[in-house]
Amino acid sequence: MKYDLHNHTWYSPCSLLNPQALLAIVKKKGFDGIAVTDHDTLKGGLATKKLNKDRDFEVIVGEELHTDRGHVLGLYLQKPIRSRAYEEAAEEIHRQGGIVILAHPRRPMPGAWFRMDGLGKRLMPDGLEVFNGRTGMWSNIHADSLANKLHIGKTGGSDTHFGYEAGSCYTHFEGDLARALNKKKTDAHGRGKGMLIGGPLSFLSKLSLKMGVRKPHG
């Protein structure tokens, strides 16, 4: 199975991507599924899942959280995650039967470099994103080393905010994703697009909201 596990739509302030367009792009690229992980909301995932009429293609409803330790992807969610304390958020995701993945854990930006200190075995994530499309090679290599050190399943995600980024990174696995992560039977692949273009575009997207040029979705 080939899934892109990190995507944003126009329900995130830093993205202008229509959910319909996201679906069309990844399906054209031969993917079997995607996770829609908008910032602090399930609206993008729910909208994309509703649009998907293909029984052979899975849309995972998810959310990207900015926790006190770093960024976290919650997958297979039924309700938004309220807490921004990592320990509480991870427990809340698991109570919903969801999957906890650390997003770009070695991106050298304030709030994005995930703090692993004092994190007990009980609160270890289910997966660690070792291939992020908006993160540089050095950071992805260090994330991969961290996953090896902690014996955590590996994932890849494009961190899509705009159409040209969709499907650039992905996770390959067989059968059930949660089971594959638990058995360390996932592989991350792709070619990142970096932040050189995407970063300024996301800034302009957020600026257009603040200036009232466009209205927030949902």
Q: Does the pLDDT value for residue 212 go beyond 80?
A: no
Hey, where are the domains in the chain?
2-210
At residue 209, the pLDDT reads 67
Between 101 and 217, whose confidence is greater? 101
What is the share, in percent, of the chain residues with pLDDT greater than 70?
96
- Averaged pLDDT of the chain: 93
Band of the pLDDT at 166, cuts 50, 70, 90? very high
Q: What is the CATH number of domain 2-210?
A: 3.20.20.140
Closest CA to 72 of 56, 84, 59, 57: 84
pLDDT digits (tens, 9 = 90+) for 97-133: 999 999 999 998 888 999 998 888 888 999 999 999 9
At residue 129, the pLDDT reads 98
**Quick one: tokens of 159?**
């961190």
- Average pLDDT (15-32) is 97
Band of the pLDDT at 149, cuts 50, 70, 90? very high
Q: Does the pLDDT value for residue 9 go beyond 90?
A: yes
- Average pLDDT (121-146) is 94
Q: Evaluate if pTM is beyond 0.75.
A: yes
d(CA 124, CA 153): 11
